[in-house]
Structures are given as structure tokens and as C-alpha cells.
Amino acid sequence: MNKFYITTAIDYVNAPPHIGHAYEKIATDVIAKHYRQRGIPVFFLTGTDEHGIKIQRTAAEKGISPQEFCDETANKFKEAWELLNIKYDRFIRTTEPDHERVVQHIFKTLVDKGDIYKASYTGLYCTGCEAFLNPRELTEEGLCPNHKTKPQEIKEENYFFKLTKYKDRLKNHIKNTPGFIMPEYRANEVLNQLKDVEDISVSRSKESVSWGIPVPDDESQIIYVWIDALSNYITGAGYLNNDELFRQFWPADVHMIGKDILKFHAIYWPALLMAMEIPLPRTILAHGWITIDQSKMSKSLGNVIAPKTIIDAYNLENGDPLRYFLMTTTPFGRDGNYSDEEFKNKVNADLANNLGNLLNRSLSMLVKYFDGHITTETGFSEIAQMAESTKQTVIEKFNTYDLTEAAEAIISLVDTANKYTNEQAPWALAKDEATMPQVGQVLYNVLETMRFVSVLIYPFTPNIAQAIWEQMSLPGNVFDVLLSELKWGGLKQGKIASQDTVKPVFLRLDSELAGEKKKK
């Protein structure tokens, strides 16, 4: 692999970010950080989706222009991702001039090719989805299955994309390309949707929607917001604007998306790329939703939680605990759940009691018995073998984007080191001068394991990983260490700790996340 291009869905700016948005961005960032550890050039794209009727209406309600509203909300997303240590290479906004140029180029190219045509249309439009829905997609009550609202019947003369022209080719690609849609069980869902596929409207009358990219050579029409949004993936990679970047990184290796927008990404987007004769993305990775106390997040229920709310409520120094919790509590692709109790219990058990306590007591013993000096360099032991095999397991799990299992393997290594420490009981061995070399050997093995752990866990908890690295006085930064260079025996003889430097890398969470009513 000579490059790795990963994208998130771009977030609709009608509302500020919540932990559902954060889940996707954290997962993408974790994968990007891991692939950077492999020494592979990575390009990580995220951003905001800023056109459509909902933006137009919300801005009007606030008495500001749509662009002012988009600017305000896009900044909220940027601030949230900075708080969570999400390091993207580009934050794309669909109101940017280079993106408008790409979208209009796609539209005009497909009109000239005959793949986009104009026709009258009557359809059911869900404003929440910003999409026309097939009657077969509605609930028995005639409602949108996602938003539980009745779609509006719209009669317009619009432009249509010949999606049916690419139906068989797309079906064959899905069937014959393992890993194109992940998890694999989602592929059958898409194939079932393909059975009923029709040509799709790719524009709206300007009388209905004025906030969007104009159709080239027809000022009476606005390009459909989903065609606009999906095209961000090639704009972000330099299409039409940076040929060198586009040649290096396209096709995308992973489109990370929510399961509710799989149809747009696994049917509409590949068909558009086929029509444009642009290579298809390698993998469309659909994740589940995050519920709150087993209930779907909803404004009406008042259970929408922003990442900053959790970080502030627990007085956290950074977003590592939330990153860790969201990545480790749910098999990837399935729905996950957030609750105060689960959050506190999980991060206290794994990060404070297990990982943090092991490092703290090991360094404390090193200071007590050897004045903070590593006195030996170990031979190959069973724990060394497990450290090496854990590294390989983590790599294999990331190959299939099993983030939860990768994290479990790392914590399992910490468990093994804790068990090894308890079995060897260096505090008991230290009572006899004759066994002091053995004490030094045990502490070396544990601390060298912690060096491995700091590198492996870095994508999940970058701040905690760096804190471990610094407490052990290791050279440089943990994020500069390539996995290919991570080999047993890297911890060298010499002083690495003192009484003043040994402190917990993660403190237990004892505060409660609660609204004012609960606090009273």
C-alpha cells in the first residue's frame, strides 16, 4: 500500500455536532493515525454539507444569510474536532468555490454525455433526508422511516440522472468485489435496494430551493444537495484543482459513513463515478448509531449530547476518555450506546485502574529500588512474545477495520502485564539482595510492555499515549514511532524516572454528568 485516503461523511450544518457525529470522526481519525504509524502517506478528509432547503429555512428563521449561518455552524464542528484531537488533512465545505466548480463540471459532463436529462416529475420528498423517497421505502403509516414525518408531494420539472443505465454494472461490482461494502452483511441490503432503483432527480426548481449550486446553463434549477455533497470526496482529493494530489490519493480507500446514508454512497455515488469514468472507492464502511441510555438521540426527547458537554462535566483535560469509550464498547458496524454509568465504569476500569495503575506502580518501584534506573536489558520472554504478537494482531484488526477488537488486544496485553507483575511480586523479591537482579528484570519486562502499549494505543488515546511515553523519558514523541520499528528491547539502560516525575497518566472519573434537575 503506497497511500491511504480516508473520508468521513460531511456533516449537515443544520445543527451543531453531537456524539453521533463524534463517533464517526473519532473512528476515522483512529484509522488514519494507525495507518500513519505504518509509514503510509495518509490523506484524511472531513467537512460540512452546507446547501439545501433546511439550511435556507433555518437561516431565515434566525434572520441571517445562509452563508452566515453555515460559517457559524461549520466553526462549531471544527472546534469539536480540535477538542477531540481529530487531525484531518482538509476540512472541506460545500460552499467553497473549488467545490462548486467540480459539481458544475460533473453536471455539465453528464448532460453532454446524455446521462442527465430533463423531465417532469411528481415525487415524495423528505426534507429531513433531503431526498425523494420511493413509496415502498415508507412505513405503513406513509412516513419516512428515519424522521417519522410525512414526505411532501412535489411536482417539478427537474433534471434526472440515468441511474438505471448503471444498475447491472453496479450490481456486478458489489457481488464481485469483496470488501466494497463493509460490514459485508450490508451488501445484501444494497442489492435489495438496487432491485427497485429508478432514475433519480438531480436538481430542484429554484422556486423550491434557492440555496445551492446553480445548474450550468439553466439558472432556474439548483443542483440536488446529495449530488453536491457526494462530490466532495473528489474535490477534497484535488479533482480539477490539484492533479498531483488527485493522482496520488484517488480512489478513496475508505468512505466512513453512517448506515442511514448507505444507499446514497453505495448506489448513487458509484453510479455517478461510473458515468464520469472515475475509479470507484475501495471500501464503503457503514457504522451504526450511538443511542443515549438505549434511546435514539432526538431533539424532542432532549437527549442530544455534545462531546464538549461530557468533557466539561467530568472536568477532563482532553477527549481521550470519550475517544476510548466510543471505540471500545461496540463491535464496529453495530449500534452503540452511551450512558453516564457505562462511560465512567469503562474508562475507570481500563484507563485508570488497569493501564494507569500498572505504569504508576511499576515506575514507583523502579524509583524505590533502583533510583529510577533501568539496570538490565532483557532477553526474549513470554511477555515479549505476547507484545510482539499483539502488535501483529492490532495490524490485522485494522486491516479489516475491527477497531474494537484491536483495542481489546491492547488492553489484553496490559492485563497480561498486570498478571505477570502480580505473579512475579517484585516487592517480595526486593526483600532479598540476592534477587534484586530479578526485580530489575521484572520491571524491565513490564515497562518495555508499556512502551509497546503506548505506541499501539496512540490512535485511540493520543494524549495518554504521549503521557506514558514522557513519563518513561523516551526520546522524541510516541506518534513518530513506526510500527515497523517497534521491536522488543527498545528500552535502554539508564535513569528514566524520579519521585517528581511519577504521577497517574489518567485519574479516575468521580463526577456525574447530569442536568440541573438531576443535580438538584
Exactly one of 144, 265, 308, 397 is catalytic; which is it? 144
Q: Rounded CA gap, 223 and 206, in Å?
A: 9
Q: Over 50: is that where the pLDDT of 519 sits? A: no
For 257, the enclosing helix (H) or strand (E) is strand 254-258
Q: Over 90: is that where the pLDDT of 408 sits? A: yes
pLDDT tens for 308-343 read 999 999 999 999 999 999 999 988 889 999 999 999
The answer to which of 141-155, 188-202, 207-221, 475-489 has the lowest mean pLDDT is: 141-155
Q: Rounded CA gap, 144 and 257, in Å?
A: 20
Band (508; pLDDT cuts 50, 70, 90): confident
Q: Is residue 344 part of a domain?
A: yes
In terms of C-beta density within 10 A (0-12 exposed, 13-18 middle, 19 or more buried), how is residue 303 classed?
middle
Q: Which residue has the higher pLDDT, 379 or 408?
A: 408
**Residue 167 is a catalytic residue:** no
Give the model's pLDDT for residue 87: 98
Mean pLDDT within 99-103: 98
Average pLDDT, the chain: 93
Q: Is residue 386 part of a domain?
A: yes
Exactly one of 155, 195, 299, 517 is catalytic; which is it? 299
Kindly write down the DSSP assignment for every residue of 447-496, as one continuous string: HHHHHHHHHHHTTT-HHHHHHHHHHTT-SS-GGG--GGG--TT-SPSEE-
pLDDT tens for 14-36 read 999 999 999 999 999 999 999 99
Q: Rounded CA gap, 145 and 135, in Å?
A: 11
Exactly one of 25, 99, 126, 263 is catalytic; which is it? 126
Exactly one of 33, 51, 70, 129 is catalytic; which is it? 129
Q: Are residues 227 and 103 in contact, defined by beta-carbon separation less than 8 angstroms?
A: yes
Q: Is the pTM of this model over 0.85?
A: yes
**Residue 144 is a catalytic residue:** yes
**Residue 21 is a catalytic residue:** yes
Q: Over 90: is that where the pLDDT of 39 sits? A: yes
Q: Is residue 378 part of a domain?
A: yes
Q: Is residue 477 part of a domain?
A: yes
Total domain count, the chain: 1
Mean pLDDT within 271-298: 93
Mean pLDDT within 216-220: 93
Q: Over 60: is that where the pLDDT of 517 sits? A: no
Q: Rounded CA gap, 340 and 514, in Å?
A: 8
**Residue 70 is a catalytic residue:** no
Give the model's pLDDT for residue 379: 66
Q: Is residue 211 part of a domain?
A: no
Q: Is residue 110 part of a domain?
A: no
Band (520; pLDDT cuts 50, 70, 90): very low
**Residue 397 is a catalytic residue:** no
Q: Which residue has the higher pLDDT, 281 or 515?
A: 281
Which domain CATH number covers 486?
1.10.730.10
Give the model's pLDDT for residue 150: 86
Q: Is residue 143 part of a domain?
A: no
Q: Is residue 394 part of a domain?
A: yes
- Cβ neighbour number for residue 49 with a 10 Å cutoff: 25
Exactly one of 18, 263, 287, 391 is catalytic; which is it? 18
**Residue 129 is a catalytic residue:** yes
Mean pLDDT within 447-469: 98
Exactly one of 3, 113, 148, 296 is catalytic; which is it? 296
pLDDT tens for 134-176 read 787 788 788 887 768 888 887 778 999 999 999 999 999 999 9
Give the model's pLDDT for residue 300: 63
The whole-angstrom distance between residue 5's C-alpha and the CA centroid of its chain comes to 13
What is the residue range of 471's domain? 340-495
Exactly one of 3, 113, 147, 148 is catalytic; which is it? 147
**Residue 34 is a catalytic residue:** no
Mean pLDDT within 463-484: 97
Give the model's pLDDT for residue 511: 41
For the record, the C-alpha cell of 135 comes out as: 413509496
Q: Over 80: is that where the pLDDT of 515 sits? A: no
Give the model's pLDDT for residue 272: 98
Residue with cell 438505549: 294
Q: Over 70: is that where the pLDDT of 516 sits? A: no
**Residue 173 is a catalytic residue:** no
Mean pLDDT within 187-203: 93
pLDDT tens for 374-398 read 998 776 689 999 999 999 999 999 9
